[in-house]
Structure formats: structure tokens, C-alpha cells
Amino acid sequence: MFQSLFSFLIAILTLEGSYPEKSPLPFLYKSGIALAAYLFILSLFLLQKRLFIGKRRTKRYASQLTFLGMAELFVWLLFVQGILNLQAGRSDWESFGIKTVLITLFLIGVSFLQLTIANSFSIKKFIHSLKGYSFLFLIPFSLAYLFFDLLKIALSSILSKGTSDIADIFDLLLTFSFALVALAVMAPITVKIWGCKPIKQSELKLRLEERCRSVGFHHRGLLVWGIMGQTITAALFGFLPRLRYILFTEPLLNQFTHEEVEAVLLHELGHFHYKHLFLYPLICLGAGFCLSVLYAYAEPYLGINGGTNGMGFILFFIVSILFLYLYFRVVFGFFSRMFERAADLFPLKVGYDPRFLVSALKKISHLTDIPLSEPNWHHGSLKQRIQTIERAWLQPTFVKRYEAFSRAWIFCYLVFFFTIAILFLLKLFNSGL
């Protein structure tokens, strides 16, 4: 999941790069951008493999996943950097059409490369693979990106009469507002694309619905998460009470006891209780604000506005990729691990026996052949999570202390976030970017 999202982020960053309107960069420069970015990403993947994968039974799968990510980005970067000359001198609508075609080709390419790794190629298998995990998982994000791009075009024509800095600020605020609305209402469409089906009426479903009511969580349905296949996981999806869902994969429902599934549900409801569903997007948005401020303050020194300085653009592009990688691995990773531990403690907070969640985590390790002590940058190791639960079980005040710890770090991030946002808006006012 995170591999696909990171590849998609790099693909969007490539499309949103600063390209000239009249004098396109020479193809050599564009190829240099692609090659430099690919080599840099390759080094990051290899470093990640050495530090975080290690020697275990799933090493072959991890190697294939790493190769898939490298192949996707390599083909994408070379293709995009060569073809984006077509955008030079084009209208907004023509550029939007080019982006739509490129995003579609990227999604098909993901499916093709996934199939190449899995088995031998055939037209029948390729068509069937378009229903596969990576392709379907990324479609809602692609549609959202194209919708926001379309929205920017519409807003730019409406706000073109005002001064550039004021128009840009309103464009930013309106786009962000519409983005929140779109994220809130896209859940029903997304679960259709992801092949989700309602959980059949049973004693387990009645228990899960009763548990939701007991903590005041309103939802539109309990669903089986179709595209996740044999993955063992669950998730809350959506923001609005009547437009959000609880997703469970089939192995979780079929191979875990009712008490363990209920404990997993309470973990997910812990994310709702602690407002993690709103904090995750805010932390991701922080990366965009940081890149915007970095670009605004670096542009006068690198001469990258409009893409006229090829070497400056290459440098900023590579720095942007490095920043995104470090931001998500360090900042997002830290908060994600903290949020997971807080959600793990939620069953204790509502008086549910935490041993069922410990049992579920151990069963995940057994069924997936993932060692309990194996590091995980966004969730933490299963062993660390179990130890946190057991510590809270033995120390009655631990849950409240951990909640205070989480609130302190969230406050620090909010101070950082609004500081970056203010710097960005001040630069926008001063220079009319």
C-alpha cells in the first residue's frame, strides 16, 4: 500500500514540475532529470532494503516489490520527461488532457509490471490484471488528482481578474476547501471501485455493530475489503458519519475468533476516537506546504521559475524527492507509530480485555510469517505494540499518560504546520508567486 502511494506521489510530483511555456527544455535536460531522479530513487530503495527488510522468508516478495517500484518510476520518468515538451505553449485544457492520458498510462503500466513479476505475460492475463490490487487501489487517488487539476483550471479563469497574489491565495484556499469536500464524499465511490461487499448477517456482524454503537461511532456499513486479497488488515474509510465505512479483509474475518475481530475493530475505533482520521491528512499536507515554502525561497537563487534553468530544476527535483522520502519516513512514520499505539490502548480505555488484541497481533505474525520483532516504519514492530499493551495492562495510569504524550506531540506539529503555512502565505503576498 505505502509502496504504491509513494510511487504515485513521485509520479504526480513529476507531472506538477515547473515546465516552460514557450521555450521547452532540451530533451537532454529532461532525460538528465529522469536519469538523476531514477538513480537517486534506486539508491533509496536499496538502502531501505538493507536497513528494514533483512533476511526472512518473505525476502523474495520484498525484492519483487522493490523491483516493481523501481521499474514503475524508471519507465514513468523517462516517458514523462520526454513527452512533456507537448505541454509547451498549450492551453490549460490541452495540458489537462495530456495529464489525463499520462495518469491512465501510469496506472496501466503499474498493472503490466505487476503481472510481469507475478507470471508470464498474455493478453488475457493482462486484461484480468487490471482488476488487480495496485491498479484499483490507485484509481480513486488518480481521479481525485485529475478533479483537483480541473478545479484549478476553472478557478484560474474565475480569479484571473484579480491581482496575482490575491488570486493565488483564493485559488489555494478554495482548492483546499473543495479537496476536503471531495475526500468526504468520495468514500461511496471508492468502496465500489475497491470491490467491497457487505459482511453477511451473522452473530459476528451483530457484535461489531453493537460495539460501534457503544462508542458512538456512526457508519454506513461493515464491508469486506475486496481488493486486499489475502492481506490481514482492517481500516476506517471516510469522514462523514453517513459516508464512512469499516473495512475488513476476508482472512481477518475467517481465521480470527469473534473476540479478536472485535478487538481489531476497537483498535480502528481508537483512530476515530483520537481524531487520527483528520490528523493523517494534515500531516501529509504538511509535506506539500514545506515543499511550497522551499520552492518559494529557493527559486530566486536557482532560477527555476518556468523551468528555464535546467540544472537548477534538476537539483530542486532531486531535493524534493529526498525531502518527501525523509518527511514520510521520519515525520509521518513517527506520528503513524504513535497513533497505532494509542489505538492499541483504546480497548483498555473502554474496558475490553486487551489480551484479545495481543492474541490477534500474535496470530498476524504466525499467519504472515512476519517475526514479532521485525521493524515496521509506519506501524512499529508487533513485539513493541504487544509490550505497550501489556505495560498498560499492568499500569492503570499508563493510558492517560500516553494520551498526554500524544497530545503534546500533536500540539508541536500543529505549531510547526501553521508556522509553515504562514511563511508560505507571507511569501505569496510579498512576491505574488
**What pLDDT score does 177 carry?**
66
Q: State the Cα–Cα distance between residues 315 and 290, nearest whole angstrom.
A: 17
Lookup result for grid cell 518527501: 324
**What pLDDT score does 170 carry?**
58
**What pLDDT score does 314 carry?**
64
Query: CB count, 10 Å around CB of 255?
Result: 14
53-85 pLDDT, tens digit per residue, is 444 444 455 555 555 555 555 555 555 555 555
**What pLDDT score does 299 carry?**
73
7-19 pLDDT, tens digit per residue, is 666 666 666 654 4
Q: State the Cα–Cα distance between residues 182 and 38, nearest whole angstrom.
A: 32
333-366 pLDDT, tens digit per residue, is 999 999 999 999 999 999 999 999 999 999 999 9
Backbone angles phi, psi at 137, to 5 degrees: -65, -35
Q: In this predicted model, which residue has the larger pLDDT, 317 or 356?
A: 356
pLDDT higher than threshold 50 for residue 370: yes
**What pLDDT score does 173 carry?**
61
**What pLDDT score does 23 carry?**
42
Residues 330-334: contacts with CB within 8 Å, 24+ apart?
331/283, 331/286, 331/287, 331/413, 332/283, 332/284, 332/287, 332/378, 333/377, 333/378, 334/409
Q: Is 231 left (phi over 0), alpha (psi -120 to 50) or beta?
A: beta
Q: State the Cα–Cα distance between residues 244 and 212, nearest whole angstrom.
A: 13
**What pLDDT score does 267 carry?**
97
Backbone angles phi, psi at 233, to 5 degrees: -165, 170
> What is the end-to-end Cα distance of the chain in Å, rounded?
35
pLDDT higher than threshold 70 for residue 157: no
Instruction: Place 38 in a pLDDT band, splitting at 50, 70 and 90.
Output: low
In the DSSP assignment, the letter for residue 229 is: T
Give the residue-averaged pLDDT of 86-92: 54
Q: What is the DSSP string of 247-272?
A: EE-HHHHHHS-HHHHHHHHHHHHHHH
Q: Is 261 within 8 Å of 267 (Cβ atoms)?
A: no
Q: Is 187 within 8 Å of 244 (Cβ atoms)?
A: yes
pLDDT higher than threshold 50 for residue 119: no
Q: In this predicted model, which residue has the larger pLDDT, 114 or 39?
A: 39
Instruction: Place 324 in a pLDDT band, splitting at 50, 70 and 90.
Output: confident
Instruction: For residue 22, give the 3-state DSSP assignment.
Output: coil
Which is nearest to 355 in space by CA: 383, 318, 333, 386?
A: 386
> For residues 341-360, b (16+ Cβ closer than 10 Å) or e, as one string?
bbbbbbbbbeebebebbbbb
Rounded to the nearest 5 percent, the helix, strand and coil shares of the chain are 75, 5, 20
Q: Is 194 exposed, middle or buried (0-12, 13-18, 19+ CB in 10 A)?
A: buried
pLDDT higher than threshold 80 for residue 298: no
Instruction: Place 433 in a pLDDT band, splitting at 50, 70 and 90.
Output: very low
Q: State the Cα–Cα distance between residues 357 and 392, nearest whole angstrom.
A: 13
**What pLDDT score does 366 carry?**
93
Could you tell me what percent of the chain has a pLDDT over 90? Answer: 34
Q: In this predicted model, which residue has the larger pLDDT, 317 or 204?
A: 204
Domains of the chain: 2-185 (no CATH), 195-255 (3.30.2010.10), 258-433 (no CATH)
Give the residue-averaged pLDDT of 258-286: 93
pLDDT higher than threshold 70 for residue 5: no
Could you tell me what percent of the chain has a pLDDT over 70? Answer: 56
Element (H, E) at 224: strand 221-224
35-44, 252-261, 318-327: least confident range? 35-44
Which is nearest to 138 in space by CA: 4, 284, 2, 281?
A: 4
52-66, 366-380, 389-403: least confident range? 52-66
**What pLDDT score does 125 carry?**
53
**What pLDDT score does 148 carry?**
72
pLDDT higher than threshold 90 for residue 270: yes
